[in-house]
A and B are shown apart, each in its own frame.
Chain A
Amino acid sequence: MSTKLKVAIFIGVLSTGLASQSVLAQTGTLEQDETEHAPLADPLEPFNQKMFWFNLRVDEYVLRPVATGYSKVVPEPARQSVGRFLKNLGVVERFANNLFQGKLPGAGREIGRFAINTTLGGVGLFDVADQWFGLKESPKDFGQTLGFYGVSSGPYLVLPFYGPSTVRDTVGMAVDSAMNPMNYLLSTVEVIAIRGGLTVTNAVNYRSLNLQLFEDVDRYAVDLYGAVQDGYLQRREKAIQEALQE
């Protein structure tokens, strides 16, 4: 009996030891000497700089003034609802990418959320799937799916109007938007008109909800281009890391 007990305790101790080690291995950032880090590569910088500058002008002269005006007319809860409505429309991409990554529970949650929020949540204006049923969103995109299967990000790429991205994530974005069922249901002209309208609405709405955030980044960054570049890359890296751990 006592030998068995000892073995059981030994295994218990060993497995907790291993478990805690694997947690540490996953985070992996606990003890790096960061003076050795190489700067982020940016082979497309001349192009990126121009696009970054262009986007800043678009923001300064068009997007920010429009979003500011819009935020004064439409109260914040309503703008959050608009954001949820637009997000709800992206269910096909999120569902498909959950499947591509083999995440069946995530795929199920996305379908459930769409069904509940489109009906009970008033065409997606309210996220009752989360509030009433505890169905959390499982946002997955094709750029992340590519990263999940080991495709590296490729060079950093600043897209006109859209902002920071990478070559991999740009491909991902194209694939995601091709997946939208609108493409098969409507004529090309209609698709372009509707998509254009939705994109502009989304940009203005998102910008209006983040007026302070944009101002803060601008205010505290010593080098704005570098701050935005690194912020984007860190978030994407983490999104892929989380997809791998999930």
Chain B
Amino acid sequence: MTRPHVFFHKFLTLSLLAWALPAWAADSPLTLIRSTTERARAALQDPAYQGDDRRQACVDKVKEILLPQFDSPEIAKRTLGPSWRDRTDAQRKEFTQLFIQLIEKTYSGALDRYNSDVQFFYDQERVDGDFAEVDTRIFAPAQNKTFSVNYHLHNVDGKWLIYDIVAENVSLVRNYRNQFNRILSKSSYEDLVQTIQAKLKQLSAPSSS
């Protein structure tokens, strides 16, 4: 009489596990950072994307992988600091778009120097309710140097999104916020927008070096 009972329990437990495990795995911040990095890495090493003529296609592909993992409006809000509150919805949208373009430019520059022998280490994650941090390291054999990269994420409607990257102990958000605040305190928001636009134009021009 007990046998069917035990069987039923086992079945229930296993099916629960089977249902819960992949969901948990997909949701863990560390797993998300790892899978995103590995996907971007695979695209960078894909033979289909090698060669100068395929460079833009490669950058676009990596962008397509990375961008959905970032909470762009949240990053823009945090970099603008106190001034965000005084902005209209249209201005917030405009600023978010400009800032993301700036980040994209920064990243695509870094991609050019990507080397396939770089090693990634995913050390640990800390989760506190809707906020999480993931500690990783990147080892570059060419320079014989290890860089620390720490991701800050928050949970938006059940999905973990990145809102800051701390590279070698320098937070990207804080660093840009100081730059933007300095411009804002000396002139105006309009001036800041113009400065960023000028920077974007300069970055789009072929590099002199």
Contact = CB atoms under 8 A, between A and B. Distances in A.
A220 interface: yes
Interface residues of B, number: 45
Given A31-B131, A220-B106, A23 B178 contact: no
Nearest to B195: A222
B179 A37 contact: no
B178 A30 contact: no
A205 interface: no
Interface stretch (B8-16, B62-70, B75-83): B75-83
Interface in B147-185: 152, 168-171, 173-183, 185
Contact of A36 (B82, B144, B174, B180): B82
Interface in A216-246: 216, 219-223, 225-227, 229-231, 234-235, 238-239
Interface of A is mostly: helix
Q: Is the interface of B mostly helix, strand, loop or mixed?
A: helix
A212 B112 CA distance: 12
Contacts of A31: 128-131
Interface size class of chain A, counting residues whose CB lies under 8 Å from the partner chain: 35 or more
A234 B174 contact: yes
Contacts of A27: 126, 133
Contact of B109 (A36, A219, A221, A229): A219
B192 to A, nearest CB: 8
Nearest to A239: B169
Contact of A212 (B113, B133, B180, B199): B113
Interface in A18-52: 20, 23-24, 27, 29-31, 34-40
Contacts of A209: 143
Contacts of A39: 81, 178, 181-182, 185
Interface of B: 77-78, 80-82, 84-85, 102, 105-106, 109-110, 113, 126, 128-133, 143-144, 152, 168-171, 173-183, 185, 195-196, 199, 203, 207, 209
Given A30-B131, A235-B170, 16 more contacts: A23-B126, A30-B133, A31-B131, A34-B81, A209-B143, A216-B109, A219-B207, A222-B183, A223-B182, A226-B182, A230-B177, A230-B178, A234-B169, A234-B170, A234-B175, A238-B169
Interface of A: 20, 23-24, 27, 29-31, 34-40, 76, 80, 209, 212, 215-216, 219-223, 225-227, 229-231, 234-235, 238-239
